[in-house]
Structure 1
Amino acid sequence: MNKWLSILFDKVGLYSLHRKKSLQTQFCHDVSLQPFTINSDRASFYQLNTIPDVLFELTDQNNYLLGSYSYNSPIYSEDKDNNIAKGMCFLSKNGKEPVHVIIVHGWRSDSLNKFKSIFLKQMQKKEFNVYFPTLPYHFERASNSLYSGEYMISANVCRTITAIRQAVVEIRALIQWLKQNKGGKVILIGISLGGYISNLVSLYEKEIDVLVSVMYANNLSYEIWHTSIGKHIKEDLERNNFTYEQLQECWSILRADEAKPLVSKEKILLISGKYDQYLTEQDAKNLWLAWGKPRRLFYHCGHAGILFNRKKIAKDTMNFIEDSIANGSE
């Protein structure tokens, strides 16, 4: 896609995104929690202590079982409606050794339609099981907020930490439950915020067979402070005299480039948009370098390329998954 057209589409998208903003300050910083997050051992911080029971509600449709799943979140927040982890699923009835694909959506998504339109048909053709987890404070988990995702990332510094931690540990719980109860391969795919969350999961979860991260972030504090996507959050922080240096310090435990993934480098695919206006090219590059330069694809598009290049994303992802599974079975 043409560079200037890509930038234009992203700017239009950002304008639309920012039309919805918090009506009151979200700023909160619990000083008592700051030493805990700064001094915490990262592995302990994201530890999964027990694997919760996953409950399914399914209906039969041809060769698939369609429905939802839910389980108690291993990390509790102060918001009751946010403490049940849940999602949609499409489960194959082929009886073969399963391939489970977990697809993690983006920030402020108000439906899964965009993500299903990219991957679902291709995954079902291969008879994979597909799971779409709901991130904290999104969809029905956001009943007390103005819009989906408002409370996941905001100027409430400690709530953001809890929400990111909650997302990581919840996905770890789903992965481990699938491995223990269903067996087979687990493929983790994240898009935008979902890519960032998936990157963090890969640092602590050894049961991931393939990781694909699309238009991902790496350093959340950097993106909030230096890109248009975080402008209202930055304004809220600055109004309360909270500096970039303070945010970096508090959110350092949320950085994906501070550790190495437990997935082998050969099983990681990173996809970036060269003209992305939501996330910076440098931040994406920093992760790629820190992880030892796994396979990375550069699309000539912006963040809106998630939609405009969905066929290419699906094709490149499916080819990488199939190659990785084939090589892993040799």
Structure 2
Amino acid sequence: MYHSWLDRWDERRARRGEEGKGRTALTLDAERAFPGAEKITSLEEFCVLADQAVANPAFFDEPSRSDQGFQGQDGWLKFPSDISTDVEENNIVWAKIADSGSFDRVLVIFHHWNASSRNRQIASFFSKRGITVVEIAMPYHFERSRPGSLHADYMLSANLGRTIQSVRQAVLDGRKLIRWLKREGYRDISVLGMSLGSWVAGLIAAHDPAVSKASLFLTAGSLADMVWTGRATRAIRDSLAPEIDLTVLRRAWGPLNLGNYAQRLARPDLALHVVLAKRDKVVLPELSASFMQKLEDTGARPNILELNCGHYSLAMPPHILLAGLSLKRFLSSPDKGRRT
């Protein structure tokens, strides 16, 4: 009875999230994803560049290592993004800092797609326990929102190139913030990503050796599969399906597939923590299971917590309390963890 109610609650929440989401046209916009690719006009050419990006270890490296432009005041930090877009507001990165008073540990949080508020309770909980929390705004969210938009449609959409650009921008912004935190004296840097934010946090952890721990909530490997099968992205699939199939989409969004970086995530100095929802209709459990298997096949030993709830109901007690306690143990432990 309880789980039937939980499923209905998740479905109602998903329906509310559909407001303002409509079908759009599939667009390549290759030059956004791959600078210098203005002449690319076919899906095959786009996919060739995507294949090259997956093989290029520098694709998610910062184009500029300048520390200029960081401004902090009253618990806020802002700095210029290294990727310039046609939305002026999106080109300035904002982050909210909950200071613990210690430089021992810091946790950088990457929120979910279309988040309407930051995670104040998580920030307060950990900052009171000696872990500074920095909540960064991902592209086209919060202070970076596109004027007039009802949701963060530029972050994830049927525009293949803009989606890659947006996720890559989120990764570069996060890496730039992490480098600043290291320069400020923070020693142990962890990242936490939720749903779409878990892809960003995972890509950062895979490419940035400064990250020692990564916690991924509601995650999987292939972003293409998540969009194609997920409850929250039906409008995007409906936009893509008339012109592209899942096999091609997987290749086009290959640079965003965490499974392609499983070997990097298995590096011995990175600890992984994963929270999954067994009743998830947004990130399907079979996609998560496939990614977990790939991680373990490469030698990673993620600490995995599976809860009997849905994607949205993870935020409800007792599930969020269990997830929070698991995260606390993970951040406090020096070990790489185990399945729970």
Give the TM-score normalised by structure 2: 0.85
Matched with 2:72 is 57
Distance 1:132 1:144, change over 3 A: same
Structure 1 counterpart SS, 2:331? helix
% identity of equivalent residues: 21
Q: Are 2:94 and 1:91 aligned?
A: no
Q: Is the 8 A contact 1:202 1:262 kept in 2?
A: no
Task: Give runs of aligned pairs for residues 35-184 of structure 1, distance below 5 A.
Answer: 35-40=48-53, 41-53=55-67, 55-59=70-74, 67-93=75-101, 96-112=102-118, 115-117=119-121, 119-184=122-187
Deviates more, 1:34-43 or 1:208-217: 34-43
Distance 1:164 1:97 in 2: 29
Deviates more, 1:247-256 or 1:290-299: 290-299
Distance 1:169 1:263 in 2: 20
Residue 291 (structure 1) aligned to one of 282, 292, 295: 295
Number of paired residues? Answer: 313
Distance 1:250 1:196 in 2: 16
Distance 1:12 1:321, change over 3 A: same
Q: Look up the equivalent residue of 1:315 and give its one-letter code.
A: L
Unaligned runs of 5+ in 1: 60-66
Residue 310 (structure 1) aligned to one of 310, 320, 331: 320
Q: Is the 8 A contact 2:100 2:129 kept in 1?
A: no
Matched with 2:332 is 322
Distance 2:11 2:150 in 1: 20
What is the CA deviation profile of residues 65-101 of structure 1, one whole-angstrom value per residue up to 9, with x for unaligned ones?
Answer: xx211111122333322111221112233xx443111
Distance 1:325 1:220, change over 3 A: same
Q: Look up the equivalent residue of 2:59 and give its one-letter code.
A: F
Structure 2 counterpart SS, 1:70? strand
What is the Cα deviation at residue 46 of structure 1?
0.6
What is the Cα deviation at residue 44 of structure 1?
1.5
Q: Is the 8 A contact 1:52 1:72 kept in 2?
A: no
What is the CA deviation profile of residues 206-263 of structure 1, one whole-angstrom value per residue up to 9, with x for unaligned ones?
Answer: 1112111111232111111112221101111234x23323212210111001122165
Distance 1:136 1:226 in 2: 23
Distance 1:127 1:199 in 2: 24
Distance 2:309 2:266 in 1: 30
Distance 2:219 2:108 in 1: 16
Distance 1:197 1:42 in 2: 17
Distance 2:107 2:228 in 1: 33
Give the TM-score normalised by structure 1: 0.87
Matched with 2:274 is 270
Unaligned runs of 5+ in 2: 31-39
Distance 1:50 1:266, change over 3 A: closer
Distance 1:225 1:192 in 2: 15
Q: Is the 8 A contact 2:71 2:79 kept in 1?
A: no
Q: CA RMSD in A?
A: 2.3
